[in-house]
Amino acid sequence: MLEFIRRHAHSLVAKVFLTILAGSFFLFFGFSYVVDKIMGKDYIVKISNIKISPQYFKYEKSKRLEALNKRGAKDVDSSSITKTVLHQLVWENLINLAAGEFGLVVSDSTMYAYVENMGMFRREDGHFDASVFRRFLKGIQVSEAEFLEASGREIKTHLMKAPFKYVSCFDELDYYANIKSEKRSLVFTEINPSTISLKDEPSDEDLMEFFNNNSDLFIVPEVRSFRVLEFSESKIESDVKVSDDEVKEAYEFSEQREERSFDEMKAELIADIKQNKVQAKIDELTRGIEDDLMSGTDIEEVANKRGLKVFTANNVKLNDENKVNLPYAQDVMTVAFSQDEKEVASFSESLDKQKHHVQWVVYVDNIVPQHVDEFEKVKNRVKAEWKKDQKHSKAIEMANDIVAKVSAGEKFSSLGYKTQTTSMFDREGLLGAKKDGEKIIKEVFAEAFEKQKGDVAYREINDRIVVYQVNEIKHEEIPHEEKMKDYGSLLQENAEDLYQQLIGYLSKKYEVKVNYELLKTIDESSESSIPEDGIL
């Protein structure tokens, strides 16, 4: 064939044949690649002009999972690993681009030394094993050049972060120690909206307007009335008998008859026969009960006829599991709130209080759907909620009035409010003894450190409006030796802050796009961690 084509290469037939052959090759081998490239399916994430392929992303994720498995990690969240690997690849490439602008170059010898020192490629004697390295690359289907390039990015990441670790913070140490040693206290008063009296009663028009604007407050939840029919499997078992003839017949048809004697198999045969007869009885009974219910026979009549126990639950809400006095109440509630009224469901199996197996079925008698009653029926509730809302509004007005006056220089006491003072606390919260008023510290300690001495604010805590003022600010003198112990923490915080600022700057400078549709095919649960617009 090839010789024929060579001899007639200039003929029309040969040219047509070669064109068809080339087209077929492109159709089967090149077309999918071109389509993927056009549709943006050839990358998971794109940083500037750099594309991370799906194959390489899978490799990085599998490497991270393998490391976690070796450490004995359990219940590893795949979506969390996906997000971590995604950010790692983005950060490494951003750093790589920045390193190029700064003229930071990693030599081949440095990269080889870096790879050779990886524990996964070293023999027991500690030396690098090239055959292990090659098998590893073959297993993950990544070329040596690609792997070395990735290693180079990791090295550059370390180099870019390194200077941040050695920035001197001695000038900031006193300020840092001063902040850490700072303690504060608050003076506060509480306003209880329920104690506020209202002068005027609401008109019907006021109540109707409130009812229309706040109908969600008056929703009557769905309630269901249902019955549970139950019978015990143990009772059926006690009624089932196995005759000698049945056992002998079963032995005659047994495949093990030639290997084992009748006496050896007798107990097993009796158990198997009894189990099959019990199951047949149960199937017959459940079908009969279901047929009775579907024909409209009264529940009590069915129960008496079939010897069933009946458990009744009336006007039960979705969370009223305690009203169903059965050990398998949760399962009953699931069934009862998933079927229609008068619907005949299938039987389920559970354990009763004596740990015996029972069969049960739920029959829903009545469903009252979630609704809002007519205004006249809930008028009293509307009035109560209206008053509660009015009192809350007045309490907020009082709180704003106190904030304005105390901020202007007046004292809580001059306004006629009873005050309490908290113990001293730091930026982590409570330090002093627990008192009735210490709950405010747990709620506001973080925001309290954002304010100056004398600043006033209010916060709703549980059912109260708490108006507080920064009362006292103290700084303890810290010995020099103790300050130096905190110096490492200061350096770490400073380095991390500088690095995050660099990453933030680079993320804006270089366009980063994530192909979240393709990412979902690798890890379906990663969708929630990827922005909808595809931009990281």
List pLDDT tens digits, range 106-131: 777 777 788 888 877 887 777 888 88
Q: What pLDDT sits at residue 517?
A: 80
Instruction: Answer whether residue 299 is part of any domain.
Output: yes
Mean pLDDT lowest for which of 33-37, 53-57, 303-307?
A: 33-37
Give 408: exposed, middle or buried? Use CB within 10 Å, 0-12, 13-18, 19+: exposed
pLDDT digits (tens, 9 = 90+) for 413-465: 889 898 988 888 887 776 654 555 577 888 888 898 889 999 999 999 988 99
Is the model's pLDDT at 269 over the cut of 80? Answer: yes
The answer on 78 and 49 residing in a single domain is yes
Q: What pLDDT sits at residue 73?
A: 64
Residues 6+ apart with CB under 8 A from 170: none
Domain that holds residue 73: 45-166+494-529
Q: Residue 487: how many CA atoms within 13 Å on its side-chain side? A: 15
Q: What pLDDT sits at residue 126?
A: 77
The answer on 365 and 226 residing in a single domain is yes
Could you tell me which of 441, 411, 436 has the C-alpha nearest to residue 426? 441
Mean pLDDT lowest for which of 168-172, 282-286, 389-393?
A: 168-172
Could you tell me which of 230, 175, 177 has the C-alpha nearest to residue 351? 230
The answer on 290 and 196 residing in a single domain is no
Provide the mean pLDDT of the chain.
Answer: 79
Domain count, the chain: 4
The answer on 71 and 30 residing in a single domain is no
> pTM to 2 decimals?
0.49
Local structure of 315: helix, strand or coil:
strand
The answer on 100 and 160 residing in a single domain is yes
Instruction: Answer whether residue 534 is part of any domain.
Output: no
CA of 226: how far to CAs of 193, 311, 323, 337, 441, in Å? Answer: 42, 9, 12, 10, 49
Q: Which residue has the higher pLDDT, 84 or 529?
A: 84
Instruction: Answer whether residue 468 is part of any domain.
Output: yes
For residue 225, what are the β-bridge partners? 366
Distance CA 115, CA 128 (A): 9
Is the model's pLDDT at 29 over the cut of 50? Answer: no
Give 476: exposed, middle or buried? Use CB within 10 Å, 0-12, 13-18, 19+: exposed
φ, ψ dihedrals at 503, nearest 5°: -60, -45
Is the model's pLDDT at 191 over the cut of 90? Answer: yes
Residue-by-residue DSSP string for 183-226: EEEEEEEEE-GGG---SSPPPHHHHHHHHHHTGGGGEEPPEEEE
Is the model's pLDDT at 9 over the cut of 50? Answer: no
The answer on 273 and 199 residing in a single domain is no
The answer on 303 and 346 residing in a single domain is yes
The answer on 238 and 208 residing in a single domain is no
Instruction: Answer whether residue 110 is part of any domain.
Output: yes
Instruction: Answer whether residue 458 is part of any domain.
Output: yes
pLDDT digits (tens, 9 = 90+) for 194-250: 999 998 899 999 999 999 999 999 999 999 999 999 999 888 888 888 898 888 888
CA of 83: how far to CAs of 54, 234, 515, in Å? Answer: 14, 53, 13
Is the model's pLDDT at 533 over the cut of 50? Answer: no
Is the model's pLDDT at 66 over the cut of 60? Answer: yes
pLDDT digits (tens, 9 = 90+) for 485-511: 665 666 666 667 666 777 677 777 777
**HEC string of 390-434?**
HHHHHHHHHHHHHHHHHHCCCCCHHHCCCCEECCCEECCEECCCC
The answer on 344 and 228 residing in a single domain is yes
